[in-house]
Amino acid sequence: MSSRQKELKKLYKKLKKRYPDEPVVLARDRKILEHLVFAVFLENAKREAARAAFVAMERYYIDWNEIRVSTANEIADVVDMIPDATRAGERLRRLLQWIFDATYKFDLEELRVQGRNAVVEFLKTVPFSTAFMNDYAALLGCGEGALPLSEGALRALRLLDFVVVSADGREIAPELDGAFEGDEALDFFFALHELGAEMLDDERRDDAIKFLRSIDAAVDERSWKPFVEPTGPTDPREIARLVAKQEKRQKRASTPLIDEIDMLDDAIEADDLDGDDLLTKDADDGYGKAFGADEQSVDDDSAFGIMKKRARKNLGRDKSVGEETSLTRNGTAYSDFYSNDERSLFSFEDVEELENEKRAVSKPKKKRRVDDEADASEENGAEFAPKPKKKARSADEEVGSDEKLEKKEAKKSAKKSAKKETKSGDESAEDAGAEIVRKPKSRAKGKSNKNEEPSDDAPN
């Protein structure tokens, strides 16, 4: 046993005097999932508060599924005896949801049969489970494993100079390995955890530091703050957003989205990558460096469409800001990706060229076709002559057309004159007192006029 481990033994004796009560926790024969949930309540709280929260949860909720479909605030109202109950409630329901999605049940006992390593490996895949929760479930559920260290316990060990940073960037206390065995290890863990809970409490932190100062006078020369900043989010809501984003990327096609194209913008602006290094069909180190991927298999047409939209957006944004240098550079860099003959619309370098392209696209098809023919003629060096709208008629065709028009006009005039004479004759007869008999309008065969009286020969 090393000298540092002997110091841990002395710390254990003083901790037992400070916290003589037996730990009130779950029995070891409880299920793995129950130990994991208890660790959610225990991580930042005292043992009695965590136990009270677990009992209240068991009394209020029928089963795990009811907790899974509850909100964080609803769970927090039940377990309000622990600090930061809302965050604990959010972590708990996210944890249960992830386990249910992964196993379609709320039971991890199959992992217990496989051994501690199987339990630890599975819990490491759960994004809403912390290192403290994983170690606690493995230690209490399987009877062996590393001692769980909460942030409060680490604060106490930092002040006592037991914490170092490992090669993989984690804070560890190497002297704890092998210093305690069996029930002594559990007793040390629970006593140290009580001290850590006081270190997290603003009102009791000074008393805890005073206790540590009685063990090591150099406590005031050290800091209890973390040596290594967390690399990922710790809030369960932030973790949930990150998990949802990763799942969405796995389900969608490999075509880059806007957020990935933003990474291209940054790479181009920083001169990290050239246009030829990005969006190629083969595996490309430049693409892997920009996106965190080793190879890229993307549909050219789809990628081209997205990049073209992004390039146009950049040009419009730079125009409003007035950054002509950045504008020209971005347009040129993006046009380098795809600027062959089949995709000539994409080969532009400034805003003026883009505006001309937009106006050309907005023209009617007929006008656009005429302009394209004119451009083609200019490129070939020939003079462009627009096609006549209608074919010119010959002199004979014009004479024949005039004769037909004259006959049509004469026929119309004669018909109008006859109608006028008939009308004037009727007016004269009416003035003389004669009754005018008008010809009835034609009607369909077999139908009678409703104003006529039936004749004698008509059938009844």
Contacting residues for 258 by C-beta, under 8 A, at least 6 apart: 306, 310
What span, in angstroms and rounded, lies between the C-alpha atoms of 71 and 90?
A: 7
CA 244 vs CA 94, 237, 240, 241, 392: distances in Å:
12, 11, 6, 5, 70
| pLDDT at res. 250 | 75
Pairwise pLDDT comparison (419 vs 224), residue with the higher score: 224
Q: Indicate whether 311 pLDDT > 80.
A: no
User: Quick one: pLDDT at residue 150?
Assistant: 94
Q: What are phi and psi of 245, to 5 degrees?
A: -65, -40
Task: Provide the 10 A C-beta neighbour count for residue 373.
Answer: 14
Tokens describing residue 405: 């028009």
Q: Is the predicted pLDDT of residue 170 greater than 70, yes or no?
A: yes
**C-alpha distances in angstroms, 310 versus 198, 265, 267, 335?**
53, 9, 15, 11
CA distance 164 to 111: 32
CATH homologous superfamily for 3-221?
Hypothetical protein; domain 2 (1.10.340.30)
Reduced to 3 states (helix: H, G, I; strand: E, B; else coil), residue 398 is: helix
Identify which has the larger pLDDT, 157 or 434: 157
Average pLDDT, the chain: 74
CB atoms under 10 Å from CB of 256, counted, come to 24
- Which residues does 14 contact at the CB level (< 8 Å), separation at least 6? 211, 214, 215
| DSSP-assigned beta bridge partners for residue 172 | 164
Q: What are the Cα distances from residue 161, in Å, to 70, 172, 175?
A: 42, 11, 11
| pLDDT at 450 (0 to 100) | 46
Q: Which residue did the predictor score with more confidence, 39 or 266?
A: 39
- Among the listed residues 326, 336, 272, the one whose alpha carbon sits nearest the alpha carbon of residue 304: 336
User: Domain locations in the chain?
Assistant: 3-221, 253-349
* Confidence (pTM): 0.57
Whether residue 132 contacts residue 197, with contact meaning beta carbons closer than 8 Å, is answered with no
Judge whether 92 and 37 are in contact, CB under 8 Å: yes
- Largest CA-CA distance found in the chain, in angstroms, rounded: 148
Q: Label residue 247 by pLDDT band (50, 70, 90).
A: confident
